[in-house]
Structure 1
């Protein structure tokens, strides 16, 4: 019998790719998403790739009673993967309460409901932002690197949520968790059926880059040319989104398969290799033959 997984935020960029990989691995997927930064048509793309249309519930996970009813309507969920969150760093500085409400309340609601429905574990989508600006003398960053004070409300919600998960489980909650700290997801499914398609103005480099190349955006601005790097632009660790999605399946297999070494485990998801913004743009231009204004 297939195990059932709730993917919270499953029509988003990483959530949709993870849904594909979960279905390919034999899991049954239920998606809850409020579609605030995604599109219902993503479900069509998932179905074209896998031949399976996941169950979908349009719901704001801050609505605890609504979430309880959704879980009642889909009994037997064994694990949760939590992607649902607001994620724009700049916006979080301008609207901090929106971020604390969306990101923290959603997690607390799910943690409170998990024992009621005998849900065995939760994979939490965290971020490398918890490490702050990395020390050049200590690269690549490992899971044992110190946590630094967050530089934005968005980053702070990731730190707070990690602490909430640890505190809850250490207090005796009857479930486990794997926390995945992402570096910078990039790319799209090789079928091109799903990808990074945010509503409104993109907050990440690649969708902005592709939209500029297509003429949707007027020009691409690179902020910062005086970093201590070979070309002066910022260096980031980019990870292919399909690899990232597969890592979530491995985490779920580990947690539900009784292979976790602790009730709360933390893993970084990256390549350990840095690529500068200008290198990325130049590679995009070389691959597509399109000059980006």
Structure 2
């Protein structure tokens, strides 16, 4: 045993006939698998990587609708860093993303706990009710919320009027448009968190709850000591993915406010659309997109770190 410990890795491989496998060896052994992967790799490259590379190159040109453009260096990035509307939309996007994501987390936990406490028949119906917003089209969700909140024909302002009250300007005031967008986006996507949390709660061994109950732990303490530790990994995953997806969210906010009134609720996604298809400046739109990619990649880094440390995070 002592002799084995004194040998190098190469000597141990040689003794037990374990040779160093090269890339060529792996290809020879698994050539059928690689053959099936090639079409997917080509399609993925053509539909994903090539557009990204072309978009990055376009940020160094003055390309617009129907015009290839000329190379202008870092002018688009200089424009971005001196544009007040970009910095405003950047800050509002961060507020929107974190406000929406953390609210979705909270509602997701509540919905998952509610489903876990219901009987099977009630669980099916309540589950359908909870999950239904997530499976609706975001554009349709924006239109629905506009019918609810619009000051001229919205259901909620008219409901206020029945009681002789004046409803706030949900889509045109100083403060309420921000709240309206966060609430609407939370409503549409909180079910994603609920699905993951519900699966995590179901997988918790019942013996842990029984042991906690026998030790005198109440409902709140059982939730703190038993349930919460098992929700740590799902929470990190949800935070990472929902942050990235909320950064790119466009359809529902655009249908609800379109970035208005004026530019008050201008998210980066809406600003990208306006620069590209209203101002027809594709190069600057891609430059704004690069800033969105940086935010999304930050969430991706958190996600990768969480996966790498998965074994250490389980309690």
TM-score normalised to structure 1 length: 0.26
Decide which structure has greater helix share.
2
Q: Looking at both structures, which has the greater relative contact order when contacts are Cα pairs under 8 Å and sequence separation is at least 6?
A: 2
TM-score normalised to structure 2 length: 0.24
